[in-house]
Structure 1
Amino acid sequence: YSRKIMGYKLSDDMSSENVVQALKMAIQNRKSTLPLIHHSDRGLQYCSKIYQEVLVKNGITPSMTDGYDCYQNALAERINGILKNEFLIYKCKDGQTLGKLIKTAIETYNAKRPHLSLMMKTPNFIHEKTSQVNLTG
């Protein structure tokens, strides 16, 4: 709803363990107590037992695309495109530099980049506003 990036993990592979770290970061940053649905494609890391167990343990309902149709996961693909095309435009010399660039890009995306679909508000603004409404009733 807010388009806020809640969790991420930079790694050399897409192993289930690395993706679980991103999920745990998102869960830790969560403010709302409302039920969650986690939508993803059918990547092996998202189908893995370890990933699904973390979802269940945290009361998150999994949702997956019907097949390998990128249009069914359009929001995630859009966010990835924005990060790659607007923020990650420099080649980094090493992983440490890339990690700093990604962190800065995500902070900028969440806090400073307004979205037309959010009535020119930032993801942080919408997320905080909605979280306050959800927590106070």
Structure 2
Amino acid sequence: LNNAVALRQPPTGCIHHTDRGSQYCSNDYQKLLTKHGFEVSMSGKGNCYDNSMVETFFKSIKAEMIWRNRWDTRRQAEGAIFQYINGFYNPRRRHSSRGGQSPLAFERRAA
């Protein structure tokens, strides 16, 4: 979260939507969200459809990158995931749900 905030500098009140995973429900993580001015949103218990966009993202990153590679260290994996998100997924990966635009192109157009 700290890396994402430093890189993207989201405005106060930006919605942070997650499932009810223990990592997102922890007091430490909730304090971090509050510190950065996020509005917290969590899916309902047992309702995966509340979080369908994020679930789709994780399916994509797993199918397109994680399941196809193997890393020797956690640091290597983290670097590869960072590169996938910031070097490919956000700036270049086209989405039919956004009229064939990448997430960054869609964001710029919507702003």
Q: Quick check: 1:29 aligned with 2:17?
A: no
Q: Are residues 1:98 and 2:82 paired?
A: no
User: Could you say if the C-alpha distance between residues 72 and 90 of structure 1 is closer, same or farther in structure 2, counting changes exceeding 3 Å?
Assistant: same
CA change 1:59–1:34 in 2 (3 A) is: closer
Structure 1 residues 128, 97: closer, same or farther in 2, change over 3 A? same
Counterpart of 2:88? 108
Q: Deviations over 1:67-118 (max 9, x none)?
A: 0222221111100111111223423141244334323322211121111111
**Paired residue for 1:127, among 100, 103, 107?**
107
Contact 1:42–1:64 (CA under 8 A) maintained in structure 2: yes
1:43-87 CA distance string (max 9 Å, x none): 111111111111112221111111022222111110011111122
TM-score normalised by L of structure 2? 0.82
> Structure 1: where are the runs of 5+ without partners?
1-22
Structure 2: segments with no counterpart, 5+ residues: none
Aligned-partner residue type, residue 120 of structure 1: G
Identity of aligned residues (%): 32
Alpha carbons of 1:101 and 1:32: their partners in 2 closer, same or farther (altered >3 Å)?
A: closer
Q: TM-score of the superposition, structure 1-length normalised?
A: 0.68
Alignment of 1:1-137 (within 5 A): 23-33=1-11, 35-95=13-73, 96-106=75-85, 107-130=87-110, 133=111
SS of equivalent residue, structure 2 residue 8: coil
Instruction: Tell me if the contact between 1:88 and 1:105 (Cα under 8 Å) persists in the aligned partners.
Output: no
Higher-RCO chain (CA-CA 8 Å, sequence separation at least 6): 1
CA RMSD of aligned residues (A): 2.0
2:49, 2:108 → 1: CA distance?
A: 28
Q: Is the 8 A contact 1:41 1:68 kept in 2?
A: no
